[in-house]
Structure 1
Amino acid sequence: MKRLFPALLLGISPVHSAEEAASADLLRFTNGNRLDGHFGGLKEGPAVVWKRDDVDAPVDFKVTQLRQVVLRSARPAKPLPDLSSVSLVNGDRIPGTITAMDAHEVSIDTVFAGPLVIPRASVSMISPNPLGGKLLFNGPFSEEGWNLTAPEQEEPPAVKANGNRKDADHADDPPEEKKLPAWSYSSGAWYHRQGATALTRDVHMPDRAMVRFQIAWKSRLALAIAFHADLKKPDKAADDAKNGQGRPDNGPGLPMMFGNAYVMNLYPGYVILNRCGYDDNGKPVLERIQSSATNARLPESGEATVEIRCNRKNGEIALFINDEFAAQWTEGTGEGDDGYAGRGGAIGFQVQTLSAPGQMANAPVRISDLVVAEWNGMPDAARSLQTNDMDIVLLSNGTDRFSGEVTGLAKGKLQLKGRYGAVEFPMDDVAEVRFARNRLAKAQEPTSNQVQVRFLPFGRLSGATKEGTGSSLILTSPVVGKTKVDLDYAVMLDFKNSNSFLDDWDAQF
């Protein structure tokens, strides 16, 4: 076996076809190495059983050496039927349909583990209709559909996926002369290393849309986020740019990369929103939109959840950071103004950290857990209204909210005892319920052999495990007890679920 390990851990025997790549699993080690193959289950130790076509017998790896098992290139074999879920005090989010609730328990029906009964005090939130609209995109789970667009003065660096360069032109260069890719895809995330190249994708954003993603960074953050972009490049603007004309002073060619769009620049202490596009003569234009106040407070290095809500019909644009309101703008939409600048359905990301005039610094950034959905117009989240003593109910119409004590669920209706009497809501009309802090139990510390099973588009169940097959595993959760989990619905097994954002990064970053 000693002779086998170096070749395997260096990943020099990749899968050879697109069909094999789509069905292959990926093993990620704590030292940054990766190994493709097929997950064969768990055994006493605990240890992961790993299979490969070029190895006669399965290989066992202790979970203490592992970070993650990515199943089927992070694609589920079976999709979840809907987006409803129950959130627990330990951070787990269990996808499923809430079927019953009283003062002591919450019952949820799941497709991957059957019916589960959860202590009411361990439930921090229920989300019967969490997005208020249709899910349009969730990922990234592959590099397919993504594009790199560089400023005119730069050549787009090659995409790097799963550690394998796609740049044959530099295959024979000495190591110190090889060009680093601007963006690399790996295990459900995009990583940025250097350069001003933008990462874009048409996600078909509707008029009312919500874009939500997780970002982590290791140096001072300067991220441009484009939305409602059409990615167009008028011929005249392209000709002017080649001749050195028409380039805006702030932002390296943003209209040339995003077309007609809104571009939000996120910095540690503030945020700027720009209109991006072209004038009647095809000249690139970048115009800053004023905001009365912003509440963007981010550290020099760290991670955050960013959510943008935008409405092309009435011009509303809002930013939330870690589920807290950060900023809001109102744009023109009709005659007598410039109209809403975002004319397309694409999104984009560009890292803009500067080290010296005209030079882009090495600025590691990770983009993951991206969700694009229709937005129902809800101006805030239940978290912004959470209190110590009252439960908060938000309805899916985006405007109505109620406070009091949720007493139960019967015949498909949520029951709330409020200050002015009792009221019932059909569960189809409820977006989410955030329970009072003072009624919640304290989360237990995770055990040393805990694993997190992750689902698509979102969901997580944690517990201790030491047995399982390639299709299921037995998970013992301190909240839901012993459960058999069907891995056809899962996309990842996470063995190093730390609160430190650094633990989730590849060693090369």
Structure 2
Amino acid sequence: MKAVIRNYRWLPGAFAALLAAATISAAEKTAKTSAAASTPKPLVDTLEFKNGDRLRGTFSSYDSGGVHWKHHAIEPLLAVKPAEISVIRVERSRPSKGTAYNCVALLAGGDELAGNLIGLDSQKLRLETWYGGTLEIARAGLRSLWLGFRQDEIVYQGPTSLQGWNVSKGMEGVFRHLNIMAAGGALDMAEVLEEAKKKDAETPSWEYKDGAFVSNGRGTLGRDLKLPEDCMIEFDLECQGYPQLGIYLYADATDKTSGINSYYLNLSARRAYLNRMTGTSSRSVGSTEIPLLDGTQSKLRVGLRASLEQKALVLYLNESLAHKWPDIGELPKRGSALIFNYMGASPLKISNLRVSKATGPLEDLTGAAAAISVKEDLVMLNNKDKISGQVQAIKDGQVAFLLQSNPITIPVERVRWIHLAQAEKADAKPPASAVRLNFALRGSVTMTMEKWEGDQVTGRSPHLGEVKFATSAFKSIQFDPAPARPSATPVSSATGSSTLFQQPVIRR
């Protein structure tokens, strides 16, 4: 049977190209995929200028002479004036173990430091960290402490392949469209469609390339990850234009997106929409404008902190709070799957996907502090009781607290967070020479950088004094930064906002 074309002169050529492209054998494609997977992806840094220009290559070093940049096509090293730089994004191999922490310190100015709590006295806080050894932070610059973080329980980290993921076929939408056209008398494509469907298995809507999931067009990618009731989902999203990405959380299926139970988040043109899907019906939980989704951002770090206990969902973009849905309701039948549904046409990439069990608080510390008193220290316990008074010290697993002139002790394991009233002051603008180093795993530190070379960066911080950090701890360097907004992203002990101090919402 021959295809009969009526006013669709472009279709024969288009299908010829489609079928020709689909003739690559499965064995050949598998070989290519295996070769790509076995070859480590080169780590490429990116330098972004204030005028918007970008330069890819390797951030070699920094010293009094400025930034030294290596480009494969240019000899010798390039010397770049720091005054012309907006941000440097660095790709480094990160440690896979030993990065857990039990405390997050929020500093005046908005920086956050994660580590294991050693103690607090009238002068300083002491944290043990993998990236900078023992840090001593001046108490005068300390806003709050968030406690109770435990060793990460990682549910999924990757991707490393498509194994275990349910992938929809990329041409299914085209098939439906053409069948409708054929039913209307415009085409008789039976043989063409049958042949194309045979080749369709070699053209999935998603594929794995160089440590990332890459879309080949519209389609879904799903897996039952056994999402915990409190979880953190993080990933890098790269696309051209608007994301047009749907994310299904706690879905009770992986091979479809209709007739299921799930929370559905749609990241679209400058807006984020959240719906609660129950079988064949869908109810809006709310939408909000998101300026970062304006189509100009080619790469975003997306974070989703879900708490079924608190019935809340928080969206983070580039490690800052984008929106919080405080009441997402309940699903009549809850699953534990995660589904990505791409609805665009241009390529989209998802990488550095990490799903973990959340172990920290979700609530807004600002509101709690303002509701009681900003003139005294405030302690919130795990049962959400709050007490105000004076935190005298933290030592040997006990918080020494003065409550209405009466000294008491509270076990650290009973404390969720501590807010220190003395830090209620305007955030000073950092000096012109300061940079902000953003941790790959969570938080940031603002400092005057003296030297970046090899595996070490040195400098001086107003709250920590002279510092020495491992360069592998950081993912970017912001030049001439404004006062930081708390990222509120305990994105890991591996991977990270918020009116008192701009609503820090801790994600776990």
Structure-1-length-normalised TM-score: 0.61
Fraction of identical pairs, as percent? 18
Partner of 2:375: 389
Give me the CA root mean square deviation. Answer: 5.1
- Conserved 8 A contact 2:100-2:150: no
Q: Aligned equivalents of 2:262 and 2:229: distance in 1? A: 13
Cα distance, 1:55 vs structure 2: 6.0
- Give the match for residue 134 of structure 2: 115
1:35 equivalent in alignment to 2:56: yes
- Please list the CA deviations of residues 228-249 of structure 1 after superposition, one character each: whole Å capped at 9, or x if unmatched: 2355227xxxxxxxxxxxxxxx
| Residue aligning to 1:161 | none
What's the counterpart of residue 346 of structure 1? 338
Q: CA deviation at 1:473?
A: 1.6
Q: Does the Cα contact within 8 Å between 1:393 and 1:403 map onto a contact in 2?
A: yes
Q: Which residue of 2 is the match for residue 105 of structure 1? A: 124
Write the distance in 2 (CA, Å) between the matches of 1:265 and 1:211.
15
Going from structure 1 to structure 2, the CA distance change for 1:108 and 1:500 (only over 3 Å counts) comes to closer
- In 1, distance between residues paired with 2:475 and 2:116? 20
The answer to which of 380-389 and 220-229 deviates more is: 220-229
* Count of matched residue positions in the alignment of Structure 1 and Structure 2: 403
Alignment map for 1:59-458 (pairs within 5 Å): 59-72=78-91, 75-76=94-95, 80-82=99-101, 84-130=103-149, 134-136=153-155, 152-153=172-173, 204-211=226-233, 224-229=246-251, 232-233=254-255, 254-255=257-258, 260-264=261-265, 272-275=274-277, 285-289=279-283, 298=289, 307-311=304-308, 317-320=311-314, 322=321, 326-331=325-330, 339-341=332-334, 343-348=335-340, 372-375=355-358, 380-387=363-370, 388-395=374-381, 397=382, 399-419=384-404, 421-436=406-421, 439-458=423-442
Report if aligned partners of 2:276, 2:328 keep a CA contact under 8 Å in 1. Answer: no
For residues 451 and 362 of structure 2, the distance between their equivalents in structure 1, rounded to whole angstroms, comes to 45
Mean CA deviation greater in 113-122 or 129-138: 129-138
Cα offset for 1:260?
4.8
Aligned to 2:184: none
- Mapping of 1:51-62 within 5 angstroms? 52=72, 57-62=76-81
Q: Is the 8 A contact 1:94 1:460 kept in 2?
A: yes
What is the letter of the counterpart of residue 275 of structure 2? L
Deviations along 1:53-81, one digit per CA (max 9) or x if unpaired, are x7664333333444444444564587523
Structure 1 residues 469 and 216, CA gap change in structure 2 (3 angstroms): closer
Q: What letter corresponds to residue 336 of structure 2 in structure 1?
A: G
Letter in 1 for 2:333: Y
- Partners of 2:411 and 2:220 lie apart in 1 by 44
Question: What is aligned with 2:30?
Answer: none
Q: How far apart in 2 are the matches of 1:323 and 1:299?
A: 7
Q: Distance in 1 between matches of 2:146 and 2:336?
A: 30
Secondary structure in structure 2 of the residue aligned to 1:255: coil
Cα separation, 1, equivalents of 2:255 and 2:409: 53
Residue 368 of structure 1 deviates from its aligned partner by 10
1:458 CA drift (Å): 0.8
CA positional deviation for 1:126: 1.5
1:48 aligns with 2:41: no
TM-score by length of 2: 0.61
Q: 2:3 maps to what in 1?
A: none
Alignment-derived partner of residue 506 in structure 1: none
Compute the displacement of 1:151 (Å): 9.0
Tell me the equivalent position of 1:475: 459
5+ residue gaps, structure 1:
1-15, 156-181, 235-253, 277-284, 333-338, 352-359, 502-509
Residue 499 (structure 1) shift: 7.6
Q: Please point out which of 442, 446, 462 is paired with 1:462.
A: 446
Q: Is the 8 A contact 2:148 2:360 kept in 1?
A: no
Taking the aligned partners of 1:195 and 1:114, their CA distance within structure 2 comes to 47
Report the alpha carbon displacement of residue 410 of structure 1 after superposing the two structures with TM. 1.6
- 1:40 positional shift: 2.5
Instruction: In structure 2, give the amino acid aligned to 1:274.
Output: R
Offset, 1:478 = 2.1
Mind listing any 5+ residue stretches in structure 2 that lack a counterpart?
Answer: 1-34, 176-204, 295-300, 316-320, 486-508
Q: 2:21 corresponds to which residue?
A: none
Check conservation: 2:37, 2:160, Cα contact below 8 A. Answer: no
SS at match of 1:91: coil
2:471 to 483, 487, 492: 487
Change (3 A) 1:58 1:263: same
Say which SS state the counterpart of residue 452 (structure 2) adopts. strand
